[in-house]
Structure 1
């Protein structure tokens, strides 16, 4: 026994966290999704299955931990994408303030109304997102260009608000939005990597410093962030992000969209099932 956990379960837990970091880092670089679509369900399953934490607490701590883990991953992916010329700085400048406001609102909502319903929200939104991407992989963009500054501000606010609530980096929602507005897929993915930084950095700080640690939270939890899980995941995810960027550079845009959609659907379905099981 170590930290109240049987040694065999501890080994499985550590292996799962390291594998989570490898997959999340690679996908962050490959798809520009920040890693949150991997982190949130992995942490949620870890906290509920191995630590037997109440799902209402587990999902909120998983969200906060995911935001912290995405900081180095997003930095690594964003730097690699910028070096390859895949970042649209004009979009980042136009969206920055609205994203920060969106994060603040999203964190406040999850703080006061957080719980198992976030699992259902995560699963539902991500499944719709993945299905849209799968069936529209070859479809023409819905719009010829991005809207004006006001329209982009609303888009940025909504992306940041939902992303911070769900513990994802923003890329999961940013990529399909930019693609729908005729932004080239590799440029969409590169830009979304930078967008993730505007979500995960302020989001993680707020989750860490402005929340009281829940009773019966997993060991190593401060505020709504489990630093022990983050410490296991961050190093490997940071190292694997540039590998994803390099691999993605040689993949056709349509194939890249489909990889993104399939990964998203599988993970979202698992989260939706978990949320429904809690209420039923």
Structure 2
């Protein structure tokens, strides 16, 4: 990155700011979490800059988690003001999500970048298929199951989300709506879950990346500060905007486009690693 020209650095900065805008709006609007956009964008940006493939995906995931700390707070606060965060569920669920985050972060810190990329690609593809083919409002049950299955669901959300570098929305929203949660309540609650995932996840990314070779300049472990400081302002500002839009329009067409984008991205990332 030190060898980039001034024009290239300006282009990179503009792209990162644009990424923050899109990620923030999507986080508030669709409840899928800004990380689902940030991770693949950072992955391809750093890849184009010649970042070491061994740390490429780890840096994308870690940097994304760090940005979600701010984005998730902004989005959760906006939804909380609108009464769309289930505090009772969070009080019963936070600890199992946190344990899943610790387990997922530990695993992510000790596997190859290729394996981490495949995990992201597979889950992104599954999320895309869910968005494309699941009928709106369709539910599996009338409410969340009792213990220990409820805690197991929280563990899975936390573990997979932290390995993908995403907040709680990408998995939390479809899972909550499967159990008959109103979509707006699911989106707001998932935004709050994102904080439970992102804070320890970002700290773990810093820890596991300390001393690694091939990291980009201005990194603390697997968290790159350049990406963090450029994405944060745009995503934090735009997350409440997305939340307001979510309460005002039918986002079904945008959801379709995003699902197609996500499916293509997941397939491409899997292909890049395997072939």
> Does the pair score TM above 0.5?
yes
1:18 matched to 2:17: yes
User: Could you state the TM-score of these two structures normalised by the residue count of structure 1?
Assistant: 0.93
Whole-angstrom CA distance in 2 between matches of 1:122 and 1:259: 22
- Go from structure 1 to structure 2 and tell me whether the alpha carbon gap of 1:271 and 1:48 turns closer, same or farther (over 3 Å shift): farther
Whether 1:181 and 2:145 are equivalent positions in the alignment is no
TM (norm. structure 2) is 0.94
Partner of 1:274: 269
Q: In 1, Cα distance between the equivalents of 2:37 and 2:56?
A: 15
What's the Cα RMSD here?
1.7
Does the 8 Å CA contact 1:123/1:269 hold for their aligned counterparts?
Answer: no
- Superposed, 1:31-46 pairs within 5 Å as 31-46=30-45
The aligned runs of 1:61-72 (5 Å cut-off) are 61-72=59-70
Aligned to 1:80: 78
Once the two structures are superposed, residues 14-71 of structure 1 have per-residue CA deviations (whole angstroms, 9 ceiling, x without a partner) of 111000000001111112233100110011111100x201333110110000000111
Provide, for residues 143-200 of structure 1, a one-character-per-residue CA deviation record: whole Å limited to 9, x for no partner. Answer: 1111113221100000000000110112100000011100011111111000100000
Partner of 1:119: 117
- Aligned-residue offset at 1:128: 1.4
Separation in 2, partners of 1:208, 1:137: 40
- Confirm or deny: 8 A CA contact 1:18 1:232 kept in the other structure: yes
- Please report how far the alpha carbon of residue 261 of structure 1 lies from its aligned counterpart in structure 2 after TM superposition: 5.3
**2:227 alignment partner, one of 226, 229, 242:** 229
The structural deviation recorded for 1:114 is 3.3
Paired with 1:268 and 1:34, the residues of 2 have a C-alpha distance of: 16
For structure 1, the residue ranges without an aligned partner over 5 or more in a row are none
In structure 1, C-alpha distance between the alignment counterparts of 2:100 and 2:116, rounded to whole Å: 17
Verify the 8 A CA contact 2:71 2:235 in the aligned structure 1: yes
Equivalent position SS for 1:143 = coil
Which aligned pairs between 1:258-269 and structure 2 lie closer than 5 A?
A: 259-260=254-255, 262-269=257-264
Could you list the runs of 5+ residues in structure 2 that have no partner in the other structure? none
Large movers: runs of 4+ above 3 Å: 258-262
How far did residue 139 of structure 1 move? 5.5
Aligned counterpart for 1:109 among listed residues 100, 107, 111:
107
